[in-house]
Amino acid sequence: MIRIAICDDEKYFRLREEELVGEYMEKRGYSYSIATYSSGKEMLALRDEAGYDIIFLDINMEEMDGIETARRIRQVSDKVFIVFVTAYITYALEGYKVNAVRYLLKEENCLENALKECLDAVTAQMDAGKKKYEINLPNGRKSIPIDNLLYVESRLHKVFFFIMEDGIREYNKYGRLDQISQELEPYGFFRIHQSYLVNIRYVKNVERYTASMENGITLSISKRYYKDIERAYIRMKGEL
């Protein structure tokens, strides 16, 4: 069950978003529920914000704006996907602080396609979090949630897997990064270098041919891959 909240003080857009999200979920066969709210205060008063998987937030609302609502949501949940639906894109930098995954403009001629693309990305991440990746280690097979895999490094004919598991744990085996790239790219992994494959969800920043990861590690990006990873990072942050 995917639990979705839509918070918007404009009735037309609140109902329109509910309609579009419902159509998307029905078409793809997801089990889902949608709750709608006309203000951030109304939603937070129920103290159920941590129970949602996806929250669509208007930014310009009376009483409590979407940015402040998102800050309070983040105090109780760092897992929920927050999507801003707004007529103003000028708040994008503020949204980075609450890790919003998208900014959708309230323009009828593009809202439907933008919302579909957003839900494609979010549900792909949710599905990836449920999937497992099998690693054949010298002492047996290990199954890990794909969503816990930060990045993979190729070094001296071995591949090293860096995994969120009670901190950062490292596993290695003999193998080729090309093969692993083919297996993991459908789940949001991007090649950034001959030696590195990264999970885009754990990339904190991309600049000057480097990728800063959530665990504090900085990885080199080769010129060959820079444009692709920069574009993917920007899309993840919602600027496209």
pLDDT recorded at residue 60: 85
Residue 94 is predicted with a pLDDT of 64
Residue 44's CATH number: 3.40.50.2300
Nearest to 64 by CA among 52, 73, 53, 75: 73
The Cα–Cα gap between 58 and 42 comes to 13
Tell which of 100, 129, 158 closes a domain. 129
Token code pair at residue 69: 């609502």
| Domain housing 24 | 2-129
Whether residue 144 is found in the same domain as residue 111: no
E strand or H helix at 120: helix 108-130
Last residue of a domain, one of 111, 129, 147: 129
Write phi, then psi, for 158 (nearest 5 degrees): -120, 160
* One domain, residues 21 and 112: yes
> 213: domain CATH number?
2.40.50.1020
Taking the alpha carbons of 224, 229, 234, 238 in that order, is the dihedral positive or negative? positive
Same structural domain for residues 16 and 97? yes
What is the pLDDT, as a whole number, of residue 239?
A: 42
Same domain, yes or no, for 103 and 6?
yes
In the prediction, which pLDDT does 240 show? 37
Residue 63, helix vs strand vs coil? coil
Q: Indicate whether 150 and 118 sit together in one domain.
A: no
Average confidence (pLDDT) per 10 residues, the chain, 240 residues: 94 96 95 93 82 91 87 87 84 68 86 93 80 86 89 95 88 94 91 96 90 91 94 69
Same domain, 215 and 144: yes
**CA of residue 37 relative to chain centroid, distance:** 23
Closest CA to 175 of 134, 226, 234: 134
How many domains in the chain? Answer: 2
Based on the fold, state whether residues 232 and 115 are members of the same structural domain: no
Longest dimension (CA), the chain: 59
Cβ(195)–Cβ(156) under 8 Å?
Answer: no
Residue at a domain's end among 77, 111, 129: 129
Same domain, yes or no: 11 and 125: yes
One domain for residues 152 and 100: no
> What pLDDT score was predicted for residue 216?
87
Q: What is the residue-wise DSSP string for 170-188?
A: EEEEE--HHHHHHHHGGGT
Q: What residue ranges in the chain does DSSP mark as E strands?
A: 2-7, 32-37, 54-57, 81-86, 102-105, 132-137, 140-145, 149-155, 158-164, 168-174, 189-193, 196-199, 203-207, 210-213, 218-220
